[in-house]
Amino acid sequence: MTKINVLIVDDSAFMRKLISTFLQEDSRIHVVGTARNGIDAMNKINILNPDVVTLDIEMPEMNGIEALQRIMSEDPRPVVMLSSTTKEGTENALLAMQYGAVDFIQKPSGPISIDLHLIKKEIVTKVLHAGKVNVALLKKPLKIQETITTRIVECSKIELESNRSIKKIVCIGTSTGGPRALQQVLPEIPRNYPAPIVIVQHMPAGFTKSLANRLNSLCEITVKEAENGEFLKAGTAYIAPGGHHMKIKKIGTSLAVNIDESELRNGHRPSVDVLFESVGEIKGIQKISVIMTGMGSDGSFGLKKLKENGKTVAIAESSETSIVFGMPKSAIETNLVDRVENLEDIAGTILSLT
């Protein structure tokens, strides 16, 4: 069995030792070396050629974001970021994923987390997942013009129509590589799109709001973190809050969000299956489901429920563009997927379905 060779980059000797110990307890992983900052990391990458790099964000001399940009431009490979739980740490983690990081790990209690053992399983799992990503795609970070603006809500014909009864809904599920994929798809949806979009992106609490704000700054449609009890509007995308399941329920002729903290599904909360199952129970509306990049099979069982009730068109991202072809592959294997599309074509396919 070929082991995944990992380089650990952190300015704390204690953290380097702890992460090394966790990873090497798994027989599938070999820690080839450690580095104390970004400059040291670049030198070690040239010498050791690791399969995966774990990269702390907050470091002296060259921080994790700067090192990541160099790695992706000079010698791309899977990188898993470690970030703090601060607002700045959250923003930097999302920025890192825009620059090509595969995933991120949230340290429980600051730069030096003596309780890191609490997320030992997460660290090992995400490094193993990183070792399976489509490295070729990491060489092509998305380049979308960022135009952060304060959106002005106008009382227009489009806005009035968005409050009428919903006749169509788009459900999107994604995980590893998802923020990058959403950043490709959502900006192509026009402001007057006549349906709400509900999204499950596997992320911990605290990160989905920042993700929604970032996507909102790039899109014509409104993108927001979903709130319990709110009614869905056309031309708006709702992202399930990290750490919570999101279900959609019909109330009269309207659709409303229900947020809860019920048991994990497939190891996840939010879960794509939970969202899809809830939408599957709604009758009388057209449904479009989209499963994009991610490890595992979350969404496949829910897809079966969607297809059982009413008209549903199912789209899966292709292996050619998926950072991780786990969730789409599992969905395709159900034989319920109608369209398999490259990432850049998914928005156009959604818009073509009337």
CA 210 to chain centre: 12
Q: In what order do the strands lie in the sheet with 312-317?
A: 222-225, 236-239, 197-201, 168-174, 286-291, 312-317, 339-341
12 is catalytic: no
**Residue 152: CB partners within 8 Å, gap ≥ 6?**
none
Q: Where are the alpha helices (DSSP H) in the chain?
A: 13-24, 38-48, 64-74, 87-98, 120-130, 135-138, 157-162, 178-185, 208-218, 272-280, 300-308, 327-332, 343-352
Amino acid letter, residue 99: Y
Instruction: State how far the Cα of 55 lies from the Cα of 19, in Å rounded to an integer.
Output: 11
Quote the Cα angle for 225-145-168, to 5°.
45
Beta bridge partners of 33: 7
Q: Is 178 helix (H, G, I), strand (E, B) or coil?
A: helix
Annotated active-site residue in 210, 298, 322, 330: 298
Annotated active-site residue in 175, 297, 300, 322: 175
Contact (CB, 8 A) for 343 and 317? yes
Is residue 278 classed exposed, middle or buried when 0-12, 13-18 and 19+ CB atoms within 10 A define those classes? Answer: buried
Q: In what order do the strands lie in the sheet with 103-106?
A: 29-35, 4-9, 52-56, 79-83, 103-106
Contact (CB, 8 A) for 198 and 249? no
Annotated active-site residue in 129, 202, 244, 268: 202
175 is catalytic: yes
The terminus-to-terminus CA distance of the chain in angstroms comes to: 49
298 is catalytic: yes
Q: Is 29 helix (H, G, I), strand (E, B) or coil?
A: strand
Catalytic residues: 175, 202, 298
